[in-house]
Structure 1
Amino acid sequence: MPELPALPDGFTALLAKGVDGIATDAAGRVKRQIAAHGFNDDGEAWLAEGLKHATGESCPFCAGTLSENELIDAYRGYFSEAYAGHKMAIEEMVKALNAALSATSALKCEQAFKDADTDAAFWKGYCDNECHSPEAGARISAEVNALLQTGKALLQQKIEAPLDVVAESAEFIEAHATWAATLTELEAATAKFTDAKHLIQGVKDGLAVTNKATVETALNGFEAVQKRHAEPVLSIATAYQKLQDEKKALVDAKDTKKAALDAYDAEIIGAYETDINRILATLGAGFRLAQCGKNYVGKVPQSTYCLRFDTNDVDVTSNGGNDPGFDTTMSAGDKNAFALTFFYRTAQARSGPCPQACRVRRPFHQS
């Protein structure tokens, strides 16, 4: 916040100040003498220069006696360094008053309070600053101008009568008191804005250390959630979620049945493998079933197995020309024995306590 306008230091004291050793009517007597002789344009300069030569007891112009000459005493007081300094102080005070209470400084203060109010309102979404522009902020220019004009009027009186005490006018007293009350209100608001500035800076510092990409990702996520719960996306998403739930229920039911089927097949296939190998041994066959199982390649589950010769397993599904397979490892008698064994085991299953065993698909039916 810019510095609030105020009267320059020593303003009221200067209004009552004179110069020690100079009669209060000295300036008036000098001015009347200048006017009487038509010295209005450069009379003061002429007298000041001539006074430098009046060093003796007689006047350098008329040779009259200078001692006990009240007019000469008035000249000497009027053109003394103290009096000149006093008049210079009045002129400097005029400049200081214009600068301290200028329209530019008043407008800067008004705008500063408006800007601070705008910033505080924006950051209320991020920190509880509890700040707002004071009503007095809109009165700054008018009240400062009133104080300036009444102050300038007093200084003009002082310029015209430097040695006289200039009393504060009623207009000045009212303007000064009004501005003093406004200053109190503005200073309280400034203190609040200063506290809010610290809070806001803390928020800014916290945001400054946050990765921008992370913040943007989080923001996009929040915006997506907001859109997800607004129409028409809400209805579409709800219907989609319902279909997803139904699909999951079907998949879970399918998986449950598949697990039960896998357990059943493992039991049945294992029993078939054992029985067929027992029959093959009875028939004196030189091979056995091995690695019986099932896979889900294709639309229908498939049974898989190998033929074991001693310790070597032959994949019956192999079609490579140089790889051992069903056709190249079994003689016609082996094939007949194998078909007979499978037929016998299947017939036994149909007549036994496990009729569902016959429903397991076996590719070697076709052998």
Structure 2
Amino acid sequence: MKRLLDQILRHFISSGRLHVTWPEGDKTVYIGRNTGPEAGMVLRDSAAERSLALNPGLAFGEGYMNGSIAPVGCTLYQLLDLLMLNAMSPGHLPEQIAAGFRFACRSWIQFNPIQRSRQNVAHHYDLDSRLYELFLDKDRQYSCAYFRTGQETLDEAQSAKKHHIASKLLLNRPGLEVLDIGCGWGGMALTLARDYGAIVTGITLSEEQLSVARQRARDEGLEGRVRFEMLDYRNLQRRFDRIVSVGMFEHVGVRHYQQFFDIIKKSLVQDGVALVHSIGRMDGPGTTNPWINKYIFPGGYSPALSEVFAATEKSGLWVTDCEILRLHYAKTIAIWRERFAANRAKAVALYDERFARMFEFYLDAAELSFRVQGHMNFQIQLSPAIEAVPLTRDYMAEAENAAAL
């Protein structure tokens, strides 16, 4: 299997240099035709060789988690930077075949009926809440922050993100009823109630997040303006003036997009406004990395805009605004990585070494997906009515600037 992997790597590395130390101790350097980063790794057993040759998208992360693959002379981030950059170039036939198979099966992989959605959410979001305190901001915003200058702290950028989104909801009078789909630990809902006078209903499928969000509402004395429920968006039975969804659309699944936007329309008043914030991809429809699907976000997928707009067009909703945030999430995750590294011993104490390796691999790969693999964030504003929002975007800037004062 070493011979096969050697041939694969010779074709795979088209940029930069990769130093490989084999289980027997011998070394090979793979030099790309183009300039690029340099990194090294050691393969500690033949099982690592075999799995890398046959299913690298899954095997590399698993090998790092169990210690059979490790960076040499570089950090994990530097090694992933080299590998993920080269993965964007064609040339790895086994992975191309595997990716083609995943694409053919993605409708099933992303089939997320209500019960499966609850299981998928529990897999990641019902982890011990103390884990997220190790790297998130004080408001526990687990989504892309918004860097107006690039010099903000994480707390400042996450606060700016909430107000940036609020400006697009056209909260032009107090008492508007707002639905927050996938409310997380409640930060967005609490902000809209506290700072904008909205009456907010937050829904989630995470028991852990629901408990924390309800406690936060009690602690802030906002129980009369905010309530949190364990509810799937498909079970909504009433209308709202505004709907917001941040970092939840990635868990919907392609075959459910039409239903999602149909429900958005059904759940809005005629002149209502919705804002959906999600990770996306700039290079067309694709698949979720198998390691991410297995260990981090089962059933998850970051869509191409062509897939999103195909569904909004059929729903009868107007897309009244769309914004692309390119490197904001890369900057966000870079800070998360830093914080997690500083608190790594606490993560090991909460779980174990293998879990800590899994989580740092996830954060490193997530940041690099935005830097070298075409991921981005999009925010789309939607309404059933053509005249629901003003003719220009000036009202957004005005509301955002007022919130910053």
Shared fold by TM > 0.5?
A: no
TM-score bracket relative to the smaller structure: under 0.3
Larger Rg: 1
TM-score, structure 2 length as denominator? Answer: 0.15
TM-score, structure 1 length as denominator? Answer: 0.17
Report the structure, 1 or 2, having the larger strand content. Answer: 2
Report the structure, 1 or 2, having the larger helix content. Answer: 1
